[in-house]
Amino acid sequence: MATIGLDRLYYAKITENENGEETYDTPVPLAKAISAELSVELAEATLYADDGAAEVVKEFQSGTLTLGVADIGVDAAEVLTGATLDDNKVLISTSEDGGAPVAIGFRAKKANGKYRYFWLYRVKFGIPATNLQTKGDSITFSTPTIEGTVMRRNKPDGQGKHPWKAEVSEDDPGVSPETITGWYTEVYEPVFAVGGGSE
């Protein structure tokens, strides 16, 4: 179903253990969302046998998340880009900056009024783009965009795989209300029954 809206943009800091496996801090609001564009790159291989394609493998390699936001506050800018506040509370960006990866959560309103919820488990952002324009005859809003690389997380799920995205629609059959109401209280962790089947 088509989506017609976007809101509740959150991020969660990541802490890695000695094996690089992630734990997530409590999610906090990032900014008022204007747009989110996610493009995905797949690693693809085709095995040919008997003059035709016998096997095709397509695996997630990485993705790009481009966020249009109303404003990125200094707290979020420090975490996402590695910029720092000086003693006068001025945000300073340097050539050596590099923010740590974070998890990004948001939701998109569907045409039926229900929402589709997302968590991207590991996103590393660059410096926000700033578009400025002089005031003319009409009002034009200039808002920042920030682009991040979406990666799989290091921590495996209950099936031994490395997820990069969690997605659910609140009106999907069998989705518990607790999954939706708890979406922003913590980064969603995949749940699998013992033996590998989904619950």
Q: Which two tokens stand for residue 83?
A: 């910029």
Q: Which of 15-24, 68-77, 110-119 has the lowest mean pLDDT?
A: 68-77
pLDDT in tens, 77-110: 788 778 888 889 887 877 676 778 999 999 888 8
Report helix, strand or coil for 172: coil
Alpha helices in 149-189 (DSSP H): 177-181
- Is 139 a residue whose pLDDT tops 90? no
Mean pLDDT of 129-154: 65
b/e 18-50 (16+ beta carbons within 10 angstroms → b): eeeebebeebeebbebbebeeeeeeeeeeeeee
What is the residue extent of each domain of the chain? Answer: 7-181
The pLDDT tens digits of the residues spanning 147-180 come to: 888 899 999 998 999 999 999 999 999 999 999 9
The answer, yes or no, to whether residue 12 has pLDDT greater than 90, is yes
pLDDT digits (tens, 9 = 90+) for 114-128: 899 999 999 988 766
**The whole model's pTM is what?**
0.74
Give the whole-angstrom CA distance, residue 90 versus residue 198: 49
